[in-house]
Amino acid sequence: MPKQQKFTGEDVLEVARQNFSFEELRPGQEEAILSLLEGHDTLAVQPTGSGKSAIYQIAGLMLKGTVLVISPLIALQKDQVDSINAQDTEEEAVVINSTQKVAESREARGKVEEGDAKYVFVAPEQLRKEDILSTLGGAKVVLVAVDEAHCISQWGHDFRPDYLRIGEVIEELGHPTVLALTATASKRVRQEIIASLGMKKPKLFLQGFDRPNIYLRVDHFQEKDEKLEAIVHRASWAEKPGIIYAATRKGAEEIAAHLAESGVDTLFYHAGLKAQEREEIQDKFMSGNADVIVATNAFGMGVDKANVRFVYHYDICDSLDSYYQEIGRAGRDGEKAEAVLFFRTEDLGIQKFHTGGEFKDEKRERLRLMQEYADTSSCRREHLLQYFGDEFEGPCGNCDNCEAQTDRSDNGIEVDPSVGTRREVA
């Protein structure tokens, strides 16, 4: 790849100001953009809402050629394309996806072939199609941005097999500069992303994983009925809106029914519903027309609702990666929020049921680490952040274990784990 022009941080900021009306860049953006402009493969792990998409948008304007953006959700692709095309710039963004009519797809491909499209958005599934690959091969692709890059990893969450094809496509395109973006990735997931994409001596930019405004808690139960009653009680009294995750469709519907009986405006969401039903349910929750949504992990990717006050897990997740991604949907406005896991040891059987087939040992190890988090008596924030590679040392002062340690030394008060209220210690 030819050597790129030498740019400075001031150059980056000027482009951001002129084209995107930025007053300043957010933490991590300038460094990642300069890395790309210097031709380095780059992995950026930054929280949702930190402006990851601006990295490839700004870098793209400063590079001579096409930017290929691989994004898993059609709705997100459309939002990004609309956002770019609304900016005061001559550069155009197009999308090629399965929902387009033949004429629309042909028009988009024509713009790519003619060099009239600066940004080209595709889903990983589109990379199986020879006509799409031929179109991309004829374009001068100088940057490939892989959004939600954790989907590459079979160790992490939201694994999508079509992501495994991306590395081959990058090589077919002559290995342009690669940018991998994700909000959450442990060291092992990061290593898998780098290997699968064939990234060459990548530069890694990690923003802190800590979300100090989220209170972390695990409540332990012996009986299923006791646990169901507790989550309904807590969700009924908690500040809203909130999300409750369940491992099964039946569980999601059962919890939703009990909450509705308690007078809570509740929706349920899972993959067993028709696509149109799921879209309507998600829109209703996102627009503020429901207080609580009870869902399987089918609900999540692309969900960015700033004022979610709680994320509760009725069942244990299959990994800490999944758990941290899901609880990270709480408190994105920076205000107080809480993440509570309602845990029964017997619930491990639900996840173990899914550990058959390939990668069995890895799945069991992920589940062991998840159980370790549930059972720890030390600072939960320290436990989570050290898993992701942050050198955080507790106490954090905002989890149940740190709270319990403080309370035991303060007038003999402790927290009742079943309802979160305080009681005198005998």
Quick: pLDDT tens for 174-208: 999 999 999 888 888 999 999 999 999 999 998 87
Residue 49 has pLDDT above 70, yes or no: no
So what's the pLDDT on residue 357? 52
User: pLDDT class for 423, splitting at 50, 70, 90?
Assistant: very low
So what's the pLDDT on residue 354? 53
Q: Cα–Cα distance between 414 and 243 in angstroms, integer?
A: 27
223 half-sphere exposure, CB direction, 13 A CA radius: 4
So what's the pLDDT on residue 105? 86
User: pLDDT class for 27, splitting at 50, 70, 90?
Assistant: confident
Dump pLDDT digits (tens) for 201-250. Answer: 999 998 878 899 999 999 999 999 999 999 999 999 999 999 999 999 99
350 or 317, higher pLDDT: 317
pTM value? 0.81
DSSP states of 293-357: EEE-TTS-TT---TT--EEEESS--S-HHHHHHHHTTS-TTSS-EEEEEEE-GGGHHHHHTT--S
Q: Cα–Cα distance between 235 and 219 in angstroms, integer?
A: 14
So what's the pLDDT on residue 4? 56
Residue 401 has pLDDT above 80, yes or no: yes
Q: Is the dihedral of CA 126, 127, 133, 136 positive or negative?
A: positive
So what's the pLDDT on residue 120? 95
> Looking at residue 121, what DSSP letter applies?
E
Domain ranges of the chain: 9-206, 214-424
* Residue 267: partners with Cβ closer than 8 Å, 6 or more residues away: 256, 281, 284, 285, 290, 292, 293, 294
Catalogue the E-assigned strands of 78-192: 93-96, 119-122, 141-146, 177-182
* CATH tag for 9-206 (out of 1.10.3720.10, 3.30.930.10, 3.40.190.10, 3.40.50.300): 3.40.50.300
Residue 335 has pLDDT above 50, yes or no: yes
Residue 383 has pLDDT above 70, yes or no: yes
User: pLDDT class for 419, splitting at 50, 70, 90?
Assistant: very low
So what's the pLDDT on residue 237? 96
Cis omega (within 30 of 0) for bond into 27: no
> Looking at residue 403, what DSSP letter applies?
H
Token readout for 205 is 């930019």
Q: Residue 376: what residue type? A: T
Q: Cα–Cα distance between 33 and 145 in angstroms, integer?
A: 12
So what's the pLDDT on residue 352? 60
So what's the pLDDT on residue 422? 36
Dump pLDDT digits (tens) for 80-138. Answer: 888 888 887 778 999 998 888 888 888 999 999 888 899 999 999 999 999 899 999 98
So what's the pLDDT on residue 347? 83
The pairing of beta strand 421-424 with beta strand 413-416: antiparallel
Residue 313 has pLDDT above 60, yes or no: yes
Dump pLDDT digits (tens) for 7-21. Answer: 898 999 999 998 888
Give phi and psi for 35, each to the nearest 5: -60, -45
Check if the beta carbon of residue 57 is closer than 8 Å to that of residue 84. yes
User: pLDDT class for 413, splitting at 50, 70, 90?
Assistant: very low
Dump pLDDT digits (tens) for 157-175. Answer: 778 889 999 999 999 999 9
Q: 207, 184, 215, 182: which is closest to 335 by C-alpha?
A: 215
Neighbours of 164 (CB within 10 A): 15
So what's the pLDDT on residue 424? 35
Q: Which residue has the tokens 């930054």?
A: 46
Q: Do the domains at 9-206 and 214-424 have one common CATH topology?
A: yes
What's the whole-number mean pLDDT along residues 297-303? 81
Residue 62 has pLDDT above 60, yes or no: yes
Report how far Cα 408 is from the mean position of its chain's Cα atoms. 36
Q: Which residues of 242-278 are buried (b: 16+ CB within 10 A; e: fewer)?
A: bbbbbbebebbbbbbebbeeeebebbbbbeeeeeeeb
Residue 340 has pLDDT above 60, yes or no: yes
Q: Which residue has the tokens 């059609």?
A: 74
Residue 1 has pLDDT above 70, yes or no: no
74 half-sphere exposure, CB direction, 13 A CA radius: 9
Check if the beta carbon of residue 340 is closer than 8 Å to that of residue 237. no
Check if the beta carbon of residue 215 is closer than 8 Å to that of residue 404. no
* Residue 229: partners with Cβ closer than 8 Å, 6 or more residues away: none
Report the CATH superfamily, name and number, of domain 214-424: P-loop containing nucleotide triphosphate hydrolases (3.40.50.300)
Query: Which helix H or strand E contains 219, and what residues bound it?
Result: strand 214-220
Q: Cα–Cα distance between 4 and 59 in angstroms, integer?
A: 11
